[in-house]
Amino acid sequence: SLEELVDSWDGEATVMRRARSTDALITIGVHSTALGPAAGGCRMRTYRSSAAAVEDAHRLATAMTSKLAVCGLPFGGGKAVLAVPSIPEGDARRDLLLELGELVESLGGLYITAPDMNTSDVDMDVVAERTSHVFCRTAESGGCGNPAPATAAGVEAGLRAAIAHVFGSDDLDGRRVLVQGVGAVGERLARRLTDDGADVVVCDIDEQRADHLARRIGVRAIPAAAWLDEECDVFAPCAAGGILDEGTIPRLRCRLVAGAANNQLRERADADRLAARGITWVPDYVLNSGGVLKGVGMELLHWPPEEVANRLQQVGEDVASLLRRADTEGQTPLAVAETLASDRIDAARATRV
Ligand code: NAD
């Protein structure tokens, strides 16, 4: 039930509002403000129940706390969920986004919003009509624009570092990488890796999209359902979450899993299952932080462009040191990332008066 969800969550605040304009439920989960204001995107989608929407807001906000802490950014984790009966367009969409802006503004900076699934930089310009606590607005409005290119750049830097760790060299020449999902991030990643000489294979449930891309960049496309049958060096999930579990992990035919998709593991124990098979898994939130680094860096911390570029490359160094530490300590990369995040949060709490 809703009550159980709210009671069992270790976050700081759950804010809910029924939208006036559309039949939508807006939920903001503020997981932690230990390191700074809670930052995180706004997801718009349909849910089977209000409880499912709140649960998603909680889960996503919790993940943002770890992501921002591991990046070393002075922000906590939060997330907004707009549970809609269908994705609104036109005036209905605009009204809903303005209401989100009002709700965010009413929290006085506790939570800072940004785009996520089904919301864009253009939508954030609308939100910004009601609040300044928003990032990843359009480039025309002084924002960072679509975060996907920065995410893809960070994923590539981290992927190279992980390849060097696992295979002893970051030379991509002939290295087979299966990219699952060639949307905003996956397509860019596939292009970059192909340019660098990797033997890229792509798949997408939108098989036409995968085929088009494969033809344009001269790589091979496979049916989406065949992703577990394809032997590769690296599997790069850039589509949906929850794909690594008890059923799929025994069937993986790769040595490294590193991709942009959020929440790749169905449960925590899947990190141990991967390790037991000798497969290195790079925690998704360490690898896919490029978009948030750029958005937060440019718009909230006012980094110059060179600093943004440096920080995207730094994802590679972060991944390298994480994987080294995991080996040295005999821990999974997930356990090391969790320790890193909780150490930073505990240190911030300890210095608070
Ligand atoms: P997107 O919607 O642009 O692309 C996703 C692609 O995956 C689509 O082409 C879709 O058809 C395909 N897809 C969906 N389910 C699939 C399946 N089961 N098998 C194969 N293909 C499937 O999304 P995106 O912005 O590229 O993001 C991809 C992933 O990366 C998501 O999990 C997202 O949460 C995560 N992520 C994105 C960003 C960003 O900056 N866009 C940042 C961090 C994390």
- Do 2-61+76-141 and 148-289+318-340 agree at the fold level? yes
pLDDT tens-digit map of 51-77: 999 999 999 999 999 999 999 999 999
**Domain 2-61+76-141, CATH 3.20.20.110 — does that match?**
no
Q: Helix (H, G, I), strand (E, B), or coil: what is residue 320?
A: helix
Kindly give the distance from the C-alpha atom of residue 353 to the centroid of ligand 1, in angstroms, as a whole number. Answer: 42
User: Could you tell me how many residues make up the chain?
Assistant: 353
Q: Are 143 and 137 in contact (CB under 8 A)?
A: yes
CB contact set of 279 (below 8 Å; sequence gap of 6+): 249, 252, 254, 255, 256, 257
CATH architecture of 148-289+318-340: 3-Layer(aba) Sandwich (3.40)
The catalytically annotated residue of 31, 43, 58, 79 is 79
194 in contact with ligand 1, CB cutoff 6 A: no
Kindly give the distance from the C-alpha atom of residue 224 to the centroid of ligand 1, in angstroms, as a whole number. Answer: 13
Rounded to whole angstroms, the Cα distance separating 351 from 353 reads 6
Minimum CA distance residue for ligand 1 atom 20: 204
Q: Among 187, 238, 245, 264, name the best residue to mutate to test ligand 1's pocket (greatest count of ligand atoms within 8 A of Cβ).
A: 238
pLDDT tens-digit map of 168-222: 999 999 999 999 999 999 999 999 999 999 999 999 999 999 999 999 999 999 9
Q: Among 119, 262, 282, name the best residue to mutate to test ligand 1's pocket (greatest count of ligand atoms within 8 A of Cβ).
A: 262
Rounded to whole angstroms, the Cα distance separating 18 from 108 reads 19
Residue 67 annotated in active site: no
Locate 116 and state its tokens. Answer: 């996520």
Atom of ligand 1 nearest to the CA of 150: 40
In whole angstroms, how far apart are CA 130 and each of 97, 100, 197?
A: 9, 8, 47
Q: Where are the domains of the chain?
A: 2-61+76-141, 148-289+318-340
Alpha helical stretches, state H, 131-183? 148-167
Single out the residue of 297, 322, 315 nearest to residue 144, CA to CA. Answer: 297
In 144-287, beta strands by DSSP E: 176-180, 199-203, 220-221, 234-237, 256-257, 280-281
User: Which pLDDT score is estimated for 187?
Assistant: 98
Locate 333 and state its tokens. Answer: 């990369």
114 in contact with ligand 1, CB cutoff 6 A: no
Kindly give the distance from the C-alpha atom of residue 341 to the centroid of ligand 1, in angstroms, as a whole number. Answer: 25
pLDDT tens-digit map of 292-313: 999 999 999 999 999 999 999 9
Q: Which residues of the chain have pLDDT under 70?
A: 352-353
ipTM above 0.95, yes or no: yes
Q: What is the CA radius of gyration of the chain?
A: 20
User: Which pLDDT score is estimated for 353?
Assistant: 57
181 in contact with ligand 1, CB cutoff 6 A: yes
Kindly give the distance from the C-alpha atom of residue 65 to the centroid of ligand 1, in angstroms, as a whole number. Answer: 21
5 in contact with ligand 1, CB cutoff 6 A: no
Burial 246-283 (b: 16+ CB within 10 A, else e): eeebeebebbbbbbbbbebbbeeebbebbbeeebbbbb
Locate 55 and state its tokens. Answer: 């649960």
User: Which pLDDT score is estimated for 21?
Assistant: 79
